[in-house]
Homo-oligomer: A and B are copies of this chain.
Amino acid sequence: MRAPISPPVLTAQMSLNRRGESRGDEGFIAAKLADGRARVLALFDLKVPILPSDDGASACLRWLSLDEARFMAEPLELAFLGEDISGSPVFACNFAPDQIASTGTAADAMKPLVDLRSLAIQGVLAEAELLAAAQARALFAWSSVNRFCARCGAAVQAADAGWRRHCTACGLDAHPRMDPAVIMLISREDRCLLGHEHRFPDKFYSTLAGFVEPGDDIEHAVRREVKEEAGIEIGEVRYVASQPWPFPHSLMIGCWGQALSEAISFDAREIADARWFRREEVRAMLENRHAGGITVPPPISMAHTLIRGFVERAIGD
């Protein structure tokens, strides 16, 4: 009997009601803009303004009214994120570095501006706020590098309240990008495979991961990446859970894979190390009491969900 999996900390279940079917309706968006309850999350070069608690243990996003946001820059490129549970409209905008410079004191008054990834990893934002900010960050991370038409090179215009970019020169429509990535706990009986990437902090190990490529399905991407990164053959693959990860705009697809071989052969260009760890050693790493000081990713991450699932015998063979 397998234990139930602890669900990921960050899922989209608390997210806004996006009203995606009405984004292209200008009358609908005009009514939302005229709603006195409307609020705006202003990002500053993708950083978010927060109100931290005195002890730093929690934080709230700092919201603006439409008038406050417009006071900073006009015209404002607003994206409609959706409606919150009370039905109030929620918008977002992003100020580019040159706009931040020109807003001067208004932007200064919004400090501290923090990196959303740090907030997510520290776990200091409420889930609903984190999700709204994640949605805004993924959208603007995409649109901030989509100012020109990739087909013809002409400047593009925002459309559908921020969810489409249209080229009036050649007619191409660009839609927000979500990059599917597989992240997998690979195990064989009592041991699991974890890797250390070059960019990781010292003594930090995580599950292997990689982007789904053209022509891949999820299961094939898992097998291909593990073979490329660690030289291990994978048999059965099972889907575990998924998570939006807006750095910049990934869809993390968490899986378990059964190793058919044990000999590790990794490509030093791809990763710095890959090793098998016994379940009890992984439990110590998860509980920050590993004798050698090895640590694993924080609770917000899909890697943590998968590693915890293995330790708790919710996933594995």
A145-185 CB contacts (< 8 Å) to partner B? 145-155, 163, 172, 174-180
Contacts of A215 in B (CB 8 A): 12, 15, 131, 134-135, 138-139, 244, 246
- Among the listed stretches A50-58, A103-111, A196-204, A206-214, which one makes contact with chain B, having 4 or more residues with CB under 8 Å of it? A206-214
Say yes or no for A65: interface residue by CB 8 A criterion.
no
Nearest B residue to A270 via CB reads B21
Known: A15-B215, A131-B215. A228 touches B21 (CB 8 A): yes
Q: How far is the CA of A139 from the CA of B215 in the complex (A)?
A: 9
Residues of B within 8 A of A151 (CB): 144-148
**Residues of A1-44 whose CB lies within 8 A of B:** 8, 11-13, 15, 18, 20-21
Known: A12-B220, A217-B12, A242-B217. A178 touches B212 (CB 8 A): yes
Contact, CB under 8 Å: B21 / A178: no
Are the CB atoms of B217 and A244 closer together than 8 Å? yes
Q: Give A174 to B134 CA distance when docked, in angstroms.
A: 22
Contact at B178–A249, with CB atoms within 8 Å?
no
How many copies of this protein are present in the complex? 2
Bound-state Cα–Cα, A242 to B216, Å = 9
Quick check: A20 and B153 within 8 Å, CB to CB? no
Given A20-B213, A21-B228, A21-B267, decide whether A218 and B251 contact each other with a Cβ distance below 8 A. yes
Task: Check if A142 is an interface residue, CB within 8 A of chain B.
Answer: yes
Is the C-beta of A219 less than 8 angstroms from some C-beta in chain B? yes
Task: Point out the residue from B13, B146, B153, B213 that lies within 8 Å of A178, measured CB to CB.
Answer: B213
CA distance A142 to B142 in the complex (A): 16
Interchain nearest-CB distance for A10 vs B (Å): 8
Number of interface residues, chain A, beta carbon within 8 A: 61
CB of A71 within 8 A of chain B?
no
Chain B residues within an 8 Å CB radius of A177: 177, 179
A239 part of interface (Cβ distance < 8 Å): yes
| Nearest CB in chain B: distance from A83 CB, A | 13
Inter-chain contact A175/B211, CB cutoff 8 Å: yes
Q: Are B11 and A214 in contact (CB under 8 A)?
A: no
A253 contacts partner chain B, Cβ-Cβ < 8 Å: yes
B239 touches A18 (CB 8 A): no
Chain B: CB-nearest residue to A176 = B214
User: Within 8 Å of chain B (Cβ to Cβ): is A279?
Assistant: no
15 additional contacts (CB under 8 A) given A12-B219, A148-B152: A8-B217, A11-B220, A12-B216, A12-B221, A21-B270, A145-B151, A148-B150, A150-B150, A153-B155, A175-B211, A178-B212, A178-B216, A180-B251, A217-B242, A217-B244
5 residue pairs, one from A and one from B, having the closest CB atoms: A135-B215, A12-B220, A138-B214, A148-B153, A239-B239
